A and B are shown apart, each in its own frame.
Chain A
């Protein structure tokens, strides 16, 4: 059954797009910045996990954790020492700075790891399951579980915890947030750490399936951005649905049309959305018209 097979691979890659889109959304929600280094966090997550596992011989779970923490720290560094000291604090300049930072990350990764792709062992060993005649890799399930766990965790964080709610408040009205004593700066920092860590988790999860190399970040970032816009910038569930949708559309395109065109799917979808429904599937046109970007 080709269709089921395409569906499986689409859902797997879609979960990664969703994670990248979530990363965009968190930072956008708190700062209105589109962080174009988001894709590089994914790349860095994958390669660092390989480093911790293969070079330092950490147990796999530990390598996963270490990679997420390290990339979270990169996010911290990025906000604390780059974004915060930007002389021009306009959102557009900050977005351009994120592009510069993504180039720095990519370049550093190339110097450190070279241009070869790396692989990581799957989280659990074993034959793929056969479902309706289609093979489902065990790792695909892990990718999917990681994605779901993060979406659920984030939703809980933002709806239940005091810090999560305060982050929403910063996004809603940063000036009022400062007036009630919420340290907006700290919340911004937290949003960068969180986005970086989430990107890294996605990167580690997908490396066993599709390998990882220094220049994977840009395309992942672009497609994740497509998913974020498609779902409505700032909407977590929108990002999840749109990410999975893009993944499936891409995989169907590769299967039934030509795999050469698959990378264009996300971009065409992005264009269509921008023409037809700029606020995305779940976005609110009214809110969108108030926001600057």
Chain B
């Protein structure tokens, strides 16, 4: 459904993406791992239209989207759960959700219905519906960010570092939610530094290093790959310590 073909993107004057190609098929969980500064977020922002690639193309269901503004891309069915959550912290939880359905503002009960669905999926949000989003805990904010993205009924959900800054228990919960979403038919592109958890639930994965894809394969294959283990899973180090 999503095909990224050798894109180059400059972030400020840094050549952040140097010919990246990835694709995501319907119903998959695809993960993108890599160290800080590898270009993961730049790639996400390029897909979502916040940055424009200087070369290359991005197609969504065979439609070129790298020329479209972000609001147009959202309306085609791509939603982003951004890095650092980026909720509207001075607005209430409820309004945050409503904003996720902004594109459907003219459909009478759409926002109401979707809000109800989100409250069912994330009961804690119902409890906090009138609170300012900035007063939620980190895990709750992450759920709100996911719920906000789901409000537009995306076909492809992109999550940028959803585990960042969260306690392990919460991270496990977030990953469980991601798997459930896939079972319900949402395709997921998951960007993570937490490579082990991400690869464990992913069908396929890409490893990004200084703006290039250096490895790709199924989740299992990458988990077993010696280079991935050395660089991202810390296997080597722990072995050294054990010896």
Contacts and interface: CB of A to CB of B under 8 A. Distances in A.
Given A162-B98, A165-B95, A181-B152, A175 B90 contact: no
Contacts of B54: none
A178 B70 contact: yes
A173 B88 contact: yes
A166 interface: yes
Interface string A164-187: 011011001101111111110000
Given A165-B98, A172-B91, A173-B86, A180 B105 contact: no
A181 B71 contact: yes
A180 B105 CA distance: 12
A172 B85 CA distance: 13
Nearest to A172: B88
A179 B91 contact: no
A168 B82 CA distance: 19
Contacts of A173: 86-89
B130 to A, nearest CB: 12
A179 B88 contact: no
A176 B82 contact: yes
A172 B91 CA distance: 8
Contact of B100 (A168, A175, A178, A180): A180
Contacts of A168: 88, 90-91, 95
Given A165-B91, A165-B95, A168-B91, A180 B50 contact: no
A179 B89 contact: no
B114 interface: no
B102 A166 contact: yes
Contacts of B87: 173, 176
A156 to B, nearest CB: 14
> Chain B: interface residue count, which band?
20 to 34
A182 B105 CA distance: 11
B102 to A, nearest CB: 5
Given A169-B91, A172-B90, A173-B88, A179 B99 contact: no
A182 B102 contact: yes
Given A166-B99, A169-B99, A175 B50 contact: yes
Nearest to B89: A172
Interface in B47-89: 48, 50, 69-71, 74-75, 79-80, 82, 86-89
B103 interface: yes
B212 interface: no
B148 interface: yes
Contacts of B89: 172-173
B105 A162 contact: yes
Given A162-B102, A166-B102, A169-B91, A182 B71 contact: yes
Interface of A: 162, 165-166, 168-169, 172-173, 175-183, 287
Given A181-B70, A182-B102, 4 more contacts: A175-B82, A178-B50, A180-B74, A181-B152
7 contacts: A166-B99, A168-B90, A179-B50, A179-B79, A181-B71, A181-B74, A181-B103
